A and B are shown apart, each in its own frame.
Chain A
Amino acid sequence: MSTSLGEPNAIAIVAFVGFVVVTLGITYWASRRTRTSAEFFAAGGNVSALQNGFALAGDYMSAASFLGIAGLVSLSGFDGLIYSIGFLVGWPLITFLIAEPLRNLGTYTFADVVAFRMKQGPVRVTAAISTLTVVTFYLIAQMVGAGNLVHLMFGLDYALAVVIVGSVMLLYVLFGGMIATTWVQIIKAGLLLVGATLLAVMVLAKFGFNPLTLFAEAKRQYGAGTLAPGKLVANPLEAVSLGLALMLGTAGLPHILMRFYTVRDAATARRSVAYATSLIGWFYLVTFVLGFGASVLVGRAAITGVDKGGNMAAPLLAEVLGGTGFLGFISAVAFATILAVVAGLTLSGAAALAHDLWGHVVRRGKIAERETLKIARYATVGLAVLAIGLGLLFQGQNVAFMVGLAFSIAASANFPALLLSMTWRRFTTWGAVASMLAGTLSSVVLILLSPTVWVDLLHNAAPISDLKNPGIVSVPLAFLAGIVVSLVAPEPAAAKGFDDAQDRMHLGPRS
C-alpha cells in the first residue's frame, strides 16, 4: 500500500502544536499555584479521585503500549495479548497492598514509606539509586521512541524531535510541577482513549461489530496459529519470569507510586486506582482490536515494510480507515503520550534527588521549604538535560529491552522492600538496603549477561545467562536478601517503630 507516513502532515502538526499550546497554557496557570514543595511534588494533595484515575492512566499508558502492543498483536497475534494482560494485572496489587498505606505513611516518594522507622541515610540513598536507575532506563526508552516515532511519522530529524520532547517536558515540570504534569496526563489519557476507541469502532464497523468475525478473518488470512500461543512463550520459565516482572514491577514504579500523594487521603487513593484500572483495562482491550484490525486491514507485509518492529501498525490502520487526517490525529496523540510519560518520570526522579537525597541525606531532614523547591528545580533541569543527552546517545540502538529492565528493577528493588517495610515488624535498615541493592544489581547484571544485551548488542558469541527476563531470579533474591540480613542483625529501634508505623499507615497522620 502507499502511505503518507513520513511526509509532513498538516493535521498532525496542527493537532500536536494545539496540544503543546494548550498544555503550556495550563503550565502557566499551574506555575502561579506552585509555590511550595508540596505543590510542586504532590499538587498540594488537591487532585480528585477521578482526576487521579485519569492521570495514573496517562502516566502508565506509554507509546510503547499503544504502538508497541498494537504492533506486536498485528504481527504475532495472540502473543501480544500476554503483554497487555501483564501490564494490567499489577494494578489490583497496588490497590490491595500498596496505595492506601503509601498515601498515609509518605509525603513525596516511596522511600518515605521504607525509611519511616529506619535509619534515614542508608535507606534513602539506596532507594534513590533504584529510583534513578528505573527512571533513567525508562527515559532512554521513551526518548529514543520519541525520536524514531517523529522521524517515521513526520519525516522530522531524530535529534530535533528528542530536543523538542525534552524541552517541552522541561517547561511543564520546571514551572508547573505536579499540577501541570497531572493535567498533561489527564488530557493525554483522554485523547489516547478517545483516539484508540474511535479507531477500534471503525475497525469493528467493518466486521458487523462482532470481534469474533474479526478474529475469524485474521485466522483465514494468517492461519489458526495467529489465535494461539507462539514463539514468545517458547520457554515456560521465561514466560513466568516476564509475568512476575510486569505484575510486581507495576506496583513498584516510582512515578506511579508518587501519584498517590496527590490525593487528599487513603480512601481517595483507593478510588483513584479503581478508575485507573478500568481505564487501562479498557485501553488494552481496545489495543487488541487494533492489533488484529491492523493485521487484517493493513496486512503484515505492509506493516513490516514501514517498520520492522511493527510499531506503525496503529497509525497505518488509522490511515487506511480514516485517511491522512485521522493518521495525523493519531500521530499527534502518540507524540503527546510520550511527552506526558516523560514528564511524570522526570518529576519522580527530581523527588528522589531533592527530597530523598538532598533533603534527608545531605540536610538530614532539616531543610527549609524554599530550599527543597529550589533543589527540585535544579534536579529537573539536570534530568531534562540527561534525558536529551541519553536520547541522542542511544540513537539507532534497539532499546526495547530497557522498558523490560525498568519493570524488572521496579519489581525486584522497590516492591519487596516496600511490602516488607509495611508488613514485617523485624525488617531492618540494612535489610531494606540489602533487598533494594540485590534487586537492582541482580536485574542489571542478569540483563547485561542475557542474550538481549550480551549477544545482540555486544556481539558476543554466546550469552552467559540464558534468561532474557531476570524477574524469576531477582525478585526472590531481593526478598531473601531483605529477610536474611534483617534476621542476622536485628534492629530493636526499627521493630519498636512498627506500631507507630501501623498506627499512621491505617489511621493516617495525626491532625
Chain B
Amino acid sequence: MNDDLHRIVARRWRVGGVLTLVMMAAYFGFILLVAFDKESAGALLAGGRVSVGIVLGAALIVLAPILIAIYVRWANRHYDPAIRELRARREDDP
C-alpha cells in the first residue's frame, strides 16, 4: 500500500474511530446513568412535566444522525477527492 493511500486511510479510521467513541460514550453514559443513578435520571424538569432521562434519551436519538452528517460531510469533502485521485493514479499505473 503506498504512502498516500496509507495516510488517507489512517485519517478515515481516525475520524470514524473518534465519532464511534463519541457515540459509544454518549450511549453507555446514558445507560450507566439510568442504571446506577435512577434518582438523577428520574429528576423532573420544566415544571415537573418531563424527566432528565427522557430529555437525554431524545437527545441521543437526535445525536446519531448528527454524528453521521458530520462524517458524511467530512468524507464528501476530504476522503472522496483523495480517493478519486488515488484511483486515477492506480488506473494509470496497473
Task: List residues of A whose CB falls within 8 A of some B CB.
Answer: 78, 81-82, 84-86, 88-89, 91-93, 95-97, 211-213, 215-216, 219, 224-225, 227-229, 233, 235-236, 239-240, 243, 247, 267, 270-271, 273-274, 277-278, 281, 284-285, 288, 423, 499, 502-503, 506-508, 510-511
Contacts of B35 in A (CB 8 A): 229, 233, 235-236, 239-240
- A-B contact list, 18 entries, CB within 8 Å: A88-B60, A89-B23, A89-B60, A92-B20, A92-B64, A92-B68, A95-B72, A96-B16, A211-B50, A215-B54, A216-B49, A229-B34, A229-B41, A236-B35, A239-B32, A267-B75, A285-B58, A423-B13
- Chain B interface size band reads 35 or more
> Are the CB atoms of B34 and A233 closer together than 8 Å?
yes
- Interface of B, secondary structure class, is helix
> Are the CB atoms of B64 and A227 closer together than 8 Å?
no
> Are the CB atoms of A229 and B20 closer together than 8 Å?
no
Task: List residues of B whose CB falls within 8 A of some A CB.
Answer: 1, 5, 8-9, 12-13, 15-17, 19-20, 23-24, 27-28, 30-32, 34-36, 38, 41-42, 44, 46, 48-51, 53-54, 57-58, 60-62, 64-65, 67-69, 71-72, 75-76, 80, 83, 86-87, 90-91, 94
Closest A residue, CB atoms, query B6: A502
Contacts of A273 in B (CB 8 A): 68
Contacts of A219 in B (CB 8 A): 48-49
> Are the CB atoms of B71 and A215 closer together than 8 Å?
no
> Are the CB atoms of A507 and B60 closer together than 8 Å?
no
Give A23 to B81 CA distance when docked, in angstroms. 40
Which of A212, A278, A507 meets B50, CB within 8 Å?
A: A212
> Are the CB atoms of A93 and B20 closer together than 8 Å?
yes
Contacts of B57 in A (CB 8 A): 78, 81-82, 84-85
> Are the CB atoms of B53 and A508 closer together than 8 Å?
no
Contacts of B72 in A (CB 8 A): 95, 270-271, 274
Contacts of B65 in A (CB 8 A): 274, 277-278, 281
> Are the CB atoms of A81 and B53 closer together than 8 Å?
yes
> Are the CB atoms of B42 and A227 closer together than 8 Å?
yes
Given A216-B48, A285-B58, A502-B9 in contact, is the A227-B27 Cβ separation under 8 Å?
no
Given A95-B68, A227-B44 in contact, is the A78-B23 Cβ separation under 8 Å?
no
Give A511 to B28 CA distance when docked, in angstroms. 42
Which of A281, A499, A502, A506 meets B64, CB within 8 Å?
A: A281
CB distance from A283 to the nearest CB of B (A): 10
Given A236-B35, A240-B32 in contact, is the A506-B69 Cβ separation under 8 Å?
no
CB distance from A189 to the nearest CB of B (A): 16
Which of A227, A235, A502 meets B5, CB within 8 Å?
A: A502
Closest A residue, CB atoms, query B61: A281
> Are the CB atoms of A270 and B75 closer together than 8 Å?
yes
Give A105 to B20 CA distance when docked, in angstroms. 21
> Are the CB atoms of B38 and A229 closer together than 8 Å?
yes
Which of B50, B83, B90 meets A215, CB within 8 Å?
A: B50
Contacts of A227 in B (CB 8 A): 42, 44, 50-51, 53-54
Which of B5, B13, B34, B49 meets A212, CB within 8 Å?
A: B49
Give A213 to B48 CA distance when docked, in angstroms. 10
Closest A residue, CB atoms, query B8: A506
Contacts of B17 in A (CB 8 A): 96
> Are the CB atoms of B5 and A84 closer together than 8 Å?
no
Give A503 to B45 CA distance when docked, in angstroms. 52
Q: Which of B19, B24, B65 has the most CB of A within 10 A?
A: B65
> Are the CB atoms of B20 and A97 closer together than 8 Å?
yes
> Are the CB atoms of B42 and A96 closer together than 8 Å?
no
Closest A residue, CB atoms, query B1: A499
> Are the CB atoms of B53 and A506 closer together than 8 Å?
no
Give A237 to B13 CA distance when docked, in angstroms. 30
Give A288 to B51 CA distance when docked, in angstroms. 14
Contacts of B61 in A (CB 8 A): 84-85, 88, 281, 284-285
With contacts A89-B27, A510-B94 known, what are 18 further pairs, Cβ within 8 A? A92-B20, A93-B23, A95-B68, A95-B71, A96-B15, A212-B46, A228-B53, A233-B35, A235-B35, A236-B35, A239-B32, A243-B27, A267-B80, A274-B68, A499-B1, A507-B83, A507-B87, A510-B91
Closest B residue, CB atoms, query A211: B50
Contacts of A503 in B (CB 8 A): 1, 5, 90
Contacts of B58 in A (CB 8 A): 285, 288
CB distance from B25 to the nearest CB of A (A): 11
> Are the CB atoms of A274 and B27 closer together than 8 Å?
no
Give A306 to B77 CA distance when docked, in angstroms. 53
> Are the CB atoms of A96 and B19 closer together than 8 Å?
yes
CB distance from B74 to the nearest CB of A (A): 10
CB distance from B23 to the nearest CB of A (A): 5
> Are the CB atoms of A96 and B71 closer together than 8 Å?
yes
CB distance from A240 to the nearest CB of B (A): 6
Closest A residue, CB atoms, query B24: A247
Contacts of B27 in A (CB 8 A): 85-86, 89, 243, 247
Give A96 to B46 CA distance when docked, in angstroms. 36
Closest A residue, CB atoms, query B26: A89
Which of B5, B28, B48 meets A506, CB within 8 Å?
A: B5
Contacts of A235 in B (CB 8 A): 35
Contacts of A271 in B (CB 8 A): 72
Contacts of B68 in A (CB 8 A): 91-92, 95, 273-274, 277
> Are the CB atoms of B34 and A239 closer together than 8 Å?
yes
CB distance from A480 to the nearest CB of B (A): 19
